[in-house]
Structure 1
Amino acid sequence: MRVLESWRAPDPEQERVRADFLRHLERHPADGMWRECAAGHITASTAVLDSARSRVLLTLHAKIKAWLQLGGHCEPGDATLAAAALREAGEESGIAGLRLLPGPVRLDRHAVRCHPGGSWHLDVQYVAIAPDGARHAVSEESDDLRWFPVDALPEPTDDVVRRLVARALRS
């Protein structure tokens, strides 16, 4: 709640999404953060940029079969959303020493199949900078993991990734 209450949305649409996320947490105070909440749950993801901010690291998600940013579900050991985003980015990239920029850069609500009949990820999105010479490693959640020029994103990807990368470049 604290992160979403203090975050300054960059535009009216993002402000509407922020208000929706806060309403979700008010309606689901016990489980709105966790995968078990069938109505939807907060997730944390990260656009990982190289130190020159000219490339983004994307994962070819094993289940979705599309190139996505790194991220996923919050876990009880995550002290903050930023910690969840950084943990997920590190686990999925194998890169040590990622530097998370302060605060989220955007929010996204998208349908997922976490529960029978579907559910929602209420994704709080961050940006991390990889150290010079960072080497990545494909995780078990991924079919592939690659750096792409920020102005030449691969297919298949989606508008969520495109909007996140564009916003990351302005951060």
Structure 2
Amino acid sequence: MSVEDLHADAVATLGGWRPADRTQESLRQAYLGFLAAREDGCLRSCEPGHVTASALVLNATADATLLTLHPRVGRWLQLGGHCEPTDTTLAGAALREATEESGIRGLRVEPTPIHLDVHPITCSLGKPTRHFDVRYLVRAPVGARPTRSAESVDLQWWPLDSMPANVDDLFPMIEAALARLR
């Protein structure tokens, strides 16, 4: 597999996805424009920005989400990160990241994105860039117990009706996931 395969999957995935609201549709079009201009758009080495994949991990009853206290950002976030050269699909990258960061085996990823978000960040390049984050719904098996990885300060389940402070930017993604489950 190759970087071209991941790029082709990103274009096909975003090309076929139809988000429910205009803001997400506008972002989807911007992502497709970015990917059309940048063959390296899924690689972290792409300085203007790069596609990342993240996972909103819900427990088996869909009433709690697994969040990580990110060491660099200092906030509770969904699991996820950069695509790797071995990734062939965005959904696969999101599942790999969720598995690595949670230690939970048996996670299941929905193949269609639930949400998009572009955010400025200084990541491993050491220079300001942007993450074009493609977010997926991932379901944990019954009784899943996470194990914190070295990529996290803390890792814990949060009831959806009792989330930590200052995670309001996660609510649109959570709402999109719950709408998918209905």
Q: Distance in 2 between matches of 1:62 and 1:116?
A: 15
For residue 102 of structure 1, report the CA deviation from its aligned partner: 2.8
Q: Distance in 1 between matches of 2:46 and 2:129?
A: 8
Q: Does 1:100 align with 2:100?
A: no
Q: Distance in 2 between matches of 1:156 and 1:103?
A: 27
Q: Does 1:168 align with 2:173?
A: no
Q: Does 1:12 align with 2:18?
A: no
Please provide the CA RMSD for this pair. 1.1
**3-state SS in 2 of match to 1:83:** helix
TM-score by length of 1: 0.95
TM-score by length of 2: 0.90
1:16-95 equivalent positions in 2, closer than 5 A: 16-29=26-39, 31-95=40-104
Contact 1:66-1:155 within 8 A present in 2 as well = no
Deviations 1:84-109 (A, max 9, x none): 00000000000000011231011111
Q: Distance in 2 between matches of 1:143 and 1:91?
A: 14
For residue 118 of structure 1, report the CA deviation from its aligned partner: 0.9
For residue 170 of structure 1, report the CA deviation from its aligned partner: 1.2
Deviations 1:8-36 (A, max 9, x none): 1111111110010011111111x110111
Q: Percent identity?
A: 48
> Could you list the runs of 4 or more consecutive aligned residues of structure 1 that deviate by over 6 angstroms after TM superposition?
none
Contact 2:91-2:110 within 8 A present in 1 as well = no
Q: Does 1:140 align with 2:150?
A: yes
Q: Distance in 2 between matches of 1:102 and 1:73?
A: 18
Q: Distance in 1 between matches of 2:154 and 2:83?
A: 23
Instruction: Give the residue type in structure 1 aligned to 2:106.
Output: G
Q: Structure 1 stretches of 5 or more lacking a match? A: none
